[in-house]
Structure 1
Amino acid sequence: MANSIPAPRAEGLHYLGLRDDIARRIATGLLGPGDRLPAERRLQADLGIARGTIREGLFQLEAEGAIYRRDRSGWYVSPPPVVYDPTRWEGFISYVEAQGRRPATETISAELIVADPLLAGVFGRPVGAPLYRIRRRRYVDDRAVLVERIVIDAALAPDLLSHSLDQSLTDILKSVYGLSVARNQVSMRPCALTGEDAAALGVKSGLPGLHVQRLSHDAGGRVIEFDHEYWRHDAVRIDVDIRVR
């Protein structure tokens, strides 16, 4: 593993110089996905530049998605992103496994709530109608990549919370309740990961992310799920295959 960065060839290396040097090593394969970078103190000693300057360079690479930080462990080269096609209806587990990666799901919270005016309008239900709200953290190759908030009409899936929600929710809804998605409305926008979402993903608050909102309908037009996903910006790549007829 290439885990050393030699001293700069000229004095006065600023943070962009450090950024460019590490980026070049990643691009040429000297540093590969999952490789750990030298500790900040090691870089400071080897390069003879201020700790703040080193952090500026590392933060720049993090913002670009080239590296990421693990709590109390250091900086690592980012793995390849998961490819996501929002025009296809596949559960997270299915499309991650299809790419040769290891998916996992962790349920953070699951509760019964009542519909406020906004959710009542989304689901076409009266205010006060029972809904399930589920919050989960999802992993690829043991790395947390997204946090999702899912709201489901409790009338369509009674006793849903008695099931293990660490497995595929799509499979539970289909096999237990006979609910299949026939139509998805998906919107995506860049966002900043903040608050509990940043904490759940172990990233610095304010790091760029991708917000995916999904409204899933069955064949009869009923809304089954209303989802909000908050992805690490370096963990996903959007690919769409459009066929022109």
Structure 2
Amino acid sequence: MSELQTTVATICQALMDKLAAGDFNVEGRLPSERTLSEHFSTTRITLREALGQLEAQGLIYREVRKGWFISPPRILYNPLQRSHFHAMVQEQGRSAQTEVLDASQLIASDKVCDRLGLAAGSSVYCIRRLRYIDTRAVLYVEHYLNPQFFPDIIATDLTQSLTDLYYTRYGVRYGRVRFDMVSTCLPEQASAALKVPQNSPALFITRINRDQHDRLIDCDLEYWRHDALRIDVEVGGN
């Protein structure tokens, strides 16, 4: 092991010990990089290597122009359960909030049209939202809706659950759903909304939904902070 690797490993272990001891729990914030580099008698470059390794493990996270923070406990996420974001978070004793970034009708990309079974160049509703757990932004999501099933929906209160809104206003319930999950890097719009550096690690979930009549109704593109959730699925036996 090189001298640099040894130094980084030493810093990582020391910080993990402090995290385990609750040394930073009062505000949930780590000291500044300058303070930490002076404490460990090392360079900022070496310190950032250690901080980056702890971030990759989901122990800490960085917000642009704010510094480093302790990562809260992850939310358990079971894609087989039909529960909306607010219900899922609140059932685990946490608080949830949704912010609408914008909502409009636009010409969808060919990929979105294909996912919704629409002809190329079709118009869809696009709703962009930012979702919070305990005041921390953890999820940037783009919803693409077939306007045929949800006339004038963008004029309603879109901070509420779309699942509930679909049913109470339009009589639409979710039926089959298709998920695709991959690890990725946050694109510019998502990283700016989540206030994290561009290309930060993320879990990207594509969700294509059908209704109770098996009609393709919407498509969600979800970018989760990589340290915000843990996939938890239980499948019954034969």
| TM-score, shorter chain, exceeding 0.5 | yes
1:138-182 residue CA offsets vs partner (Å, 9 max, x unmatched): 110000101111100101000001101111111111100111001
* 1:14 CA drift (Å): 1.6
Rounded Cα–Cα distance in structure 2 between residues aligned with 1:62 and 1:40 = 14
Deviates more, 1:94-103 or 1:200-209: 200-209
1:76-124 residue CA offsets vs partner (Å, 9 max, x unmatched): 1100011100011111011001001111111112110134543333323
Residue-pair matches, total: 234
Q: In the alignment, which residue of structure 1 is the partner of 2:205?
A: 212
Q: Which residue identity does 1:126 align to in structure 2?
A: A
Rounded Cα–Cα distance in structure 2 between residues aligned with 1:237 and 1:189 = 13
Deviates more, 1:144-153 or 1:117-126: 117-126
* 1:201 CA drift (Å): 1.0
Question: Identity of paired residues, percent?
Answer: 37
* 1:56 CA drift (Å): 1.5
Rounded Cα–Cα distance in structure 2 between residues aligned with 1:121 and 1:62 = 36
* 1:19 CA drift (Å): 1.2
Q: Which of residues 128, 139, 146 is equivalent to 1:153? A: 146
SS at match of 2:93: coil
CA contact (8 A) 1:130 1:155 kept: no
1:17-59 residue CA offsets vs partner (Å, 9 max, x unmatched): 1112112332454454962111112112222211221121112
1:68/1:119 Cα in 2 relative to 1: closer, same or farther (>3 Å)? closer
Segments ≥4 residues shifted beyond 6 Å: none
Rounded Cα–Cα distance in structure 2 between residues aligned with 1:213 and 1:143 = 22
Give me the TM-score of the superposition, normalised by structure 2.
Answer: 0.91
Asked if residue 58 in structure 1 is aligned to residue 29 in structure 2, the reply is: no
* 1:73 CA drift (Å): 2.8
CA contact (8 A) 2:64 2:197 kept: no
SS at match of 1:212: strand
1:69/1:130 Cα in 2 relative to 1: closer, same or farther (>3 Å)? same
Asked if residue 114 in structure 1 is aligned to residue 101 in structure 2, the reply is: no
SS at match of 1:25: helix
Rounded Cα–Cα distance in structure 1 between residues aligned with 2:235 and 2:86 = 23
Rounded Cα–Cα distance in structure 1 between residues aligned with 2:64 and 2:106 = 33
Asked if residue 125 in structure 1 is aligned to residue 118 in structure 2, the reply is: yes
CA contact (8 A) 1:192 1:208 kept: yes
* 1:235 CA drift (Å): 0.3
Q: In the alignment, which residue of structure 2 is the partner of 1:139?
A: 132
Counting only pairs closer than 5 Å after superposition, residues 1-245 of structure 1 correspond to structure 2 as: 14-32=7-25, 35-245=28-238
RMSD of Structure 2 on Structure 1 (CA): 1.9
> Which segments of 5 or more consecutive residues in structure 2 lack a partner in the other structure?
none
Q: Which residue identity does 1:215 align to in structure 2?
A: I
